[in-house]
């Protein structure tokens, strides 16, 4: 049985390396060397290797034995495929949430979108990503489907780099407006409209992938 300590170290290594890939610290094509990463993160090689294997299974790292281990490029098809899966799951969530969200949930979504709009205007990609997550997390939480939540966690990293580009582009204001439209549809209890807007939100990633 795996020890709790090793499990925590592996998760810590995974989270920090994934974060560096998503925020661009480790740029596409960057070589990943376990010894260097272990020293940089203050961890042993074992959790680093485990983390790299997990990131490879998620499409953020590519490896060829005896040749290279590196951060993947942002591939349009991979982003589009992941966005399609995420859009479908979030679509299920918002259609369900249209009849189950409380006024408090809607207020929280509006507040998160205000923070998102502020971050977009400031060009703060990290804050924009965090606020965007808050907007979409509420319907998903209300949906309460653990399989859906797990799939979202699995595929979200693949679209993160495209989202970072989108939220710092001239087109970012459209994301704010789409969030407003989504919240309005949910407030009206219109699951069909909420699903349609949700599709526009996730389709918005494709041109910038």
Cα separation, 128 vs 121, whole angstroms: 9
d(CA 98, CA 184): 10
State the pLDDT at residue 100: 96
pLDDT of residue 7: 65
Per-residue confidence (pLDDT) for residue 95, from 0 to 100: 97
Cβ 112 vs Cβ 203: under 8 Å: no
pTM of the complete model:
0.81
Task: Give the pLDDT of residue 161.
Answer: 85
| pLDDT on residue 132 | 96
**What domains are defined for the chain?**
4-71 (1.10.10.10), 76-208 (1.20.120.530)
Quote the pLDDT of residue 180.
Answer: 98
Q: pLDDT at position 6, please?
A: 62
Q: What is the pLDDT of residue 206?
A: 60
Q: Which segments in the chain show pLDDT lower than 70?
A: 1-7, 206-209
pLDDT given for residue 209 in this prediction: 44
Q: Do 166 and 205 meet the contact criterion of CB atoms below 8 Å apart?
A: yes
Distance from C-alpha of 59 to C-alpha of 80, rounded to nearest angstrom: 13
pLDDT at 77: 87
**pLDDT at residue 59 in the model:** 87
């Amino acid at each position: 049985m795996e020890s709790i300590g090793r499990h925590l170290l592996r998760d810590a290594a995974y989270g920090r390396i994934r974060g560096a890939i998503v925020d661009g610290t480790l740029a596409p094509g960057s070589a990943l060397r376990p010894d260097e990463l272990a020293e940089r993160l203050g961890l042993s090689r074992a959790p680093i290797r485990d983390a790299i294997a997990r990131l490879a299974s998620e499409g953020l790292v590519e490896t060829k034995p005896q040749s290279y281990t590196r951060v993947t490029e942002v591939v349009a098809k991979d982003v589009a495929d992941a966005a399609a899966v995420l859009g479908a799951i979030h679509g299920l969530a918002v259609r369900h949430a249209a009849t189950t969200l409380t006024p408090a949930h809607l207020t929280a979504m509006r507040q998160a979108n205000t923070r998102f709009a502020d971050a977009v205007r400031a060009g703060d990609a990290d804050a924009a990503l965090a606020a965007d997550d808050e907007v979409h997390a509420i319907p998903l939480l209300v949906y309460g489907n653990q399989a859906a939540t797990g799939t979202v966690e699995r595929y979200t990293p693949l679209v993160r780099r495209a989202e970072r580009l989108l939220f710092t582009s001239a087109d970012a204001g459209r994301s704010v407006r789409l969030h407003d439209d989504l919240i309005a549809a949910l407030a009206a209890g219109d699951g069909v409209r909420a699903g349609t807007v949700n599709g526009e939100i996730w389709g918005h990633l494709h041109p910038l992938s």
